[in-house]
Amino acid sequence: MKIDMKVLGALVALACVASGASAAQVEFDREALRTTPERLGIGMGGVASYELAAYDFDPQAAQKRARELFGKSPAAAKARGARVETVDGKDRLKISAGPVEYEMAMRSGGEYLLDLSRYAIAEPAAKVPASKDLRATSDAYVKAFLPGIDAREIRFVGFKRIMDSATELGADGVPKPGAATTSTVASYVALYERRLAGVPVFGPGERVRVYLGSDGKVTGHSMVWRKVAARLDTRPVVSTREIQKVLVERHAKNTADRITVDRIYFGYLAQGRYSEQATLSPVYHVGFVYGPESKRVFETFDAYTGRLIEFARRDEPSDDRRAQR
């Protein structure tokens, strides 16, 4: 089913009128509607939930993994021959050698490796790396150094550029009036997402990042990629139109003049590396603001029922529901 943004906008306007004159006007940004399941081509008639395998942290395995990366990863060249030090935290194990740092999270197995002497620092480069070369380098790194990732589930999203800016300062430490500011690329971040049967996984977990210096060489990676234990029930999900109606009805008595919805994510909401997670079930994760100065607020709705999901920890929402039978 195709989604017509003009029709959706009209439906929202009618819903606002129907809910009463005191209701806030709810608008849906055009960009927000580009990530709906209808636009992504996801079949609404059956979306599965998944049970995730419990992670059993093994400190010896973490040490072995760190030493393997220190010995072989191109990002860890400065670790070779350096003294290895270990810091055991309550939710993570951190191992370092020289300026290279490795960390494994105890609740998820999520990890990162990073050469801190090179991260986000512009280095001399003979030429600006081409996007195709950056992509080839990061793809090859994922294949060679990140085991356990199913090639059918990982999807390259794009590159993020971290900029390094410089300007001339006065004696007071404030930029001189009229001083020019120069910006150069300090590093690149290759972004990868996970998809399960074509449905995206979003949030702080279930993703891969490969870090590259301004010269295009790998400086590290981060990965949270939980193991799927079983596929649970497959059920129909409600449409974006239904979620829009639910959102408008929820805010019918809001005193704000206008609510602008600028984010609609559909898929599986994953926790970050320091949290446990038992299941992945489909949700709509909707972000909106009350005005240009407002902080974005998110509400999450069960994609099977359209009901609002209340999280125990509002600072890091996730979804640990079992599929309802």
162-170, long-range: CB within 8 Å, 24+ apart, which pairs?
A: 162/120, 162/186, 162/187, 162/188, 162/189, 164/120, 164/121, 164/122
Q: What is the pLDDT of residues 115-150, one digit of tens each?
A: 999 987 777 766 889 999 999 999 999 999 998 899
What's the distance, CA 198 to chain centroid? Answer: 16
Q: Which two tokens stand for residue 137?
A: 């380098």
- pLDDT: is 30 or 165 the higher one? 30
Give how far Cα 269 sits from Cα of 9, 317, 319, Å.
Answer: 26, 8, 6
Mean pLDDT of the chain: 87
Structure tokens at 255: 């005193």
% of the chain residues with pLDDT over 90: 66
| Helix and strand numbers, DSSP H then E, in the chain | 5, 16
H/E segment holding residue 249: helix 240-250
Token couple for 41: 């081509």
3-state helix vs strand vs coil in the chain, percent to 5: 20, 35, 40
pLDDT confidence band for 167 (50 / 70 / 90): confident
User: Span 144-161, mean pLDDT?
Assistant: 95
- Which one is predicted more confidently, 293 or 317? 293
Q: Rounded to an integer, what distance in angstroms lies between the CA atom of residue 287 and that of residue 93?
A: 34
Q: How far apart are CA 74 and CA 7, in angstroms?
A: 52
**Which residue from 187, 207, 193, 221 is spatially nearest to 74, judged by alpha carbons?**
221
The burial of 241, by beta-carbon neighbours within 10 Å (0-12 exposed, 13-18 middle, 19 or more buried), is given as: middle
Kindly give, in sequence order, each residue whose CB lies less than 8 Å from that of residue 219, ignoring residues fewer than 6 positions away: 75, 114, 115, 118, 119, 187, 211, 212, 213
> How large a percentage of the chain has pLDDT more than 70?
88
**Residue 79, CA distances (Å) to 82, 102, 109, 115 in order:** 5, 10, 22, 9
Q: What is the pLDDT of residues 283-295, one digit of tens each?
A: 999 999 987 778 9
Q: What pLDDT shows up at residue 25?
A: 84
pLDDT tens per residue across span 204-253:
989 999 999 999 999 999 999 999 999 999 999 999 999 999 999 998 88
83 burial level (CB within 10 Å; 0-12, 13-18, 19+): exposed
pLDDT at residue 311 tops 60:
yes
Predicted pLDDT of residue 59: 96
Is residue 225 a contact partner of residue 206, using CB atoms and an 8 Å limit?
A: yes
Residue 173: its pLDDT value, please?
76
- Count Cβ atoms within 10 A of the Cβ of residue 132 and give its class: 0-12 exposed, 13-18 middle, 19 or more buried: exposed
Q: What is the pLDDT of residues 8-49, one digit of tens each?
A: 554 444 444 444 445 678 888 888 888 899 998 999 999 999
